Each structure stands twice: as structure tokens, then as C-alpha cells.
A = this chain, B = another copy of it.
Amino acid sequence: MDQSDQPTERESELELPNKSAVPISLVTIKAACSQCSLHELCLSEGLSKEELAKLDILVGARRKLKRQQSLYRVGDTFEALYAVRTGFFKTDILLEDGRDQVTGFQMAGEILGMDGIGGGAHSCNAVALEDSEVCVIPFSQLEQLSREIQTLQHNFHKVMSRELVRDQGLMMLLGTMRAEERLAAFLLNMSQRFTARGYSAAEFHLRMTREEIGSYLGLKLETVSRAFSRFQEEGLIAVQQKHIRILDGEGLKRLLNHQPR
């Protein structure tokens, strides 16, 4: 089986010394931003050695989650942000009538939980789509430290702002694009994010179901499935369940731009 989406060298850096299964999910090992390979994606970019050391102290613990476990739920008191260390998450909102909307998929180096700052409680659910690990960043301490360290402050602001821009892109997608454009945009986005993490741009394993993709893209799962099949027929991609190989990235990009309107 092809494992092109597993960059082994990085993986070793992230490995915990203790591999035995721990029954409690809150592990008290220091996260050590200073050692982390996700620097440039996370909050610690551009920090000096001393500043990194302070951040290390702040990031108190890691938390492991099994597949399908919730990191937080709607209404949970907001206390901390979470940096994805390994694994894959989705965030979603559930309406009373059962409709739900996946609002994002998060992978290593991305920050979860910022939705809770404004109201003191989380406004969405965050669920691990595979066994995962996050760094816990107590928020009041982050605010305190970012009053000391200008670079950290600015990094955090950038992270939030980029999230706003990402949301704008998703609104554009949901508001104006047709089904195949949406899926093409989704695949290209995934590819680009995997690339940024040292994985293959052309071949990857989707951690979410068709239904979750559909929810994210504002489509029904059948429509997602049909679009996948169509892309395959047209030689743009090779699909085998959750395993995707992009054969013609340019073709996908073309789908995005000159659409009939």
C-alpha cells in the first residue's frame, strides 16, 4: 500500500518517547514548541530562543484523542486554544432539526478553538477524524505572554486573520460555485495543505467521508460521489474510496476559473 502521505522523517521528530497506550487523554508531557517541526505553520514562527522557551512553559500539556472523539463541543467553556500536532480534525455546527455544517478540516500546525474567545464558550464542535494529538494552549496565558512578546502577539493575530480570509474563500465557494468547482477547489486546497506539510501533492488519503465533504461544500454526499466519478472519467484524478491521486492538477484549476458562470 502506498504511504506517500506519510513523511517519515518528520514523523520521527514528533514521536513520543513513551509509546504505551495511556488511558487518560491529558498527557502531562511538555509540548516543547522549541522542538516542534511545525514552527512555521504555528504560533512560534520568528521567535528567539528565549521567547520559545517561554512559550514552551505556557503550552502545558498535550492531549491525545482517538478517532471520533471530541476535542470540544458547542457550549463548552472556552479556556484554551489547541494546536494540532498530529492527526486530523473537523469542526461543525449542528442545528436543532438535524442539519449540520462542517465548517472546516484542520491538520497539523493549525489552531483550533478561536471561536470560543468572543463568547466565553465554544460555538462549534471539534472532532478528531483519526487518532490525533494537540498541544493545549491556555488562552489567558497566551494573552499574557503575547503582551510581552510582540512577535508572538503578531503571529496570533495573523493566525486569526488568516482564518477570516479562509472563511471568505469558503463563502465564495458556497455562494457562487457549482458542484464540480467546489470539489475541485476542495481537492486543490487539500493538496496544497498536504504539500505545505511535506506530504505528496498528488496523492493523499482523505480522512473524511463523502458526507462530511458534502456538508463542508454545501452538497449532498451523492453529488460529491458523482463529481468524483466524473473527475475520474475525465482523467483528472484517480479515486479509490478515500485514496486520491491527482493526475491533472492543471485541469482541476481550469475547472475553477473559466466556469460558464
Contacts and interface: CB of A to CB of B under 8 A. Distances in A.
Interface of A: 93, 95-101, 103, 114-119, 123-124, 143, 146-148, 150, 153-154, 157-165, 167-168, 170-172, 174-176, 215-218, 257-259, 261
Given A118-B158, A147-B147, A218 B165 contact: no
Contacts of A258: 97
A103 B169 CA distance: 9
A114 B160 CA distance: 9
B99 A176 contact: yes
A137 to B, nearest CB: 13
A217 B171 CA distance: 9
User: What is the oligomeric copy number?
Assistant: 2
B114 A175 contact: no
Nearest to A117: B161
Given A97-B258, A143-B154, A176 B218 contact: yes
A145 B34 CA distance: 28
Contacts of A116: 161
A164 B163 contact: yes
A165 B258 CA distance: 32
A123 B167 CA distance: 11
29 contacts: A95-B176, A100-B176, A101-B171, A101-B172, A115-B161, A116-B161, A117-B161, A118-B158, A118-B165, A119-B161, A119-B165, A123-B168, A124-B168, A143-B150, A143-B154, A147-B148, A147-B150, A147-B153, A160-B160, A160-B164, A163-B164, A164-B167, A167-B167, A167-B168, A167-B170, A170-B171, A174-B175, A175-B217, A175-B218
A116 B161 CA distance: 7
Contacts of A93: 168, 172
B117 A157 contact: yes
Contacts of A148: 147
